[in-house]
Amino acid sequence: MTPQEEMDAFGRKIICALDTSDLEEAFKTVRLLKDHVRAFKIGHALTLNHGLAVIDRLREVGADRIFLDLKFHDIPNSVGLAVREAARHGAWMVTVHVAGGPAMLNAAAEEARAFGDENRPCIVGVSVLTSLDQHTLTDHLGVDRTVEEHMVYLSKLAVDCDLDGVVCSAHEIRPIRAAVGPRGLIVTPGIRLAGGDAHDQKRVGDARTALADGADYLVIGRALTGHPDPVAALRGLAAVPA
């Protein structure tokens, strides 16, 4: 495989996080990276400012796949309605909180399936945010399991409730992959350059190790968007020579 082929293969695993409320800034990032990454992730900052119509606006400048990361967590009916709206607007992937329980997870999966295999969004479950560590999980949230045990348990629940996959940090990829097998996608945020700033995230990792451990997609935000040359930063994350 040539360096360019290797870079292209790596890029197909990358979801760039557009962590901004500035639509023009988001447009600029999409134009720079649309030919180099698989998808773009948006969250509350863009959707609260511009509504779900922002998905169409981003698609117009080249973002073919949008990962809508709003982490739905509500009663089953409300989450089902939320997934329906996300699907209507063409979201490629959507997050829900696994802590919402089986009925909520089943409602999300069922609503997604109603749009058919070609048009439905992937539904992925969030269990323990990458900004949380063991101290917070145990001493503040009252969870007696270790982070890894809790994430494995909730990840199995998510897949058993027909979600398409889960979100986890680089630290939990191996045990979660061992627990769910090939049934579920693993989406991993918190990817950093070697020696890069972890910012507000506690559990971070590097791209190559995360993919080798079993991640399907990597979510990368500030390591790309905060870099003066995002394409060069992507190459550095991939460890592919120029």
- Per the CB < 8 A criterion, the answer to whether 40 and 16 are in contact is yes
Q: Using CA of residue 113, residue 118, residue 119, residue 120, what is the dihedral sign?
A: positive
**Nearest C-alpha neighbor of 126 from the set 84, 72, 183, 82:** 72
Q: What is the dihedral of CA 188, 44, 194, 166, to 10 degrees?
A: -10
Beta strands in 34-89 (DSSP E): 39-42, 66-72
> 10 Cβ partners below 8 Å, 6+ apart?
207, 211, 234, 237, 238, 240
Residue with tokens 């400012």: 49
Give the DSSP per-residue string, 99-159. Answer: GG-HHHHHHHHHHHHTTHHHHPPEEEEE-S-TT--HHIIIIIT---S-HHHHHHHHHHHHH
- Catalytic member of 28, 34, 71, 156: 71
Catalytic residue at 28? no
Q: Which amino acid is at 204?
A: V
- Per the CB < 8 A criterion, the answer to whether 127 and 146 are in contact is no
Query: What's the rounded Cα separation, in Å, for the pair 209 and 213?
Result: 6
* Residues identified as active-site: 71
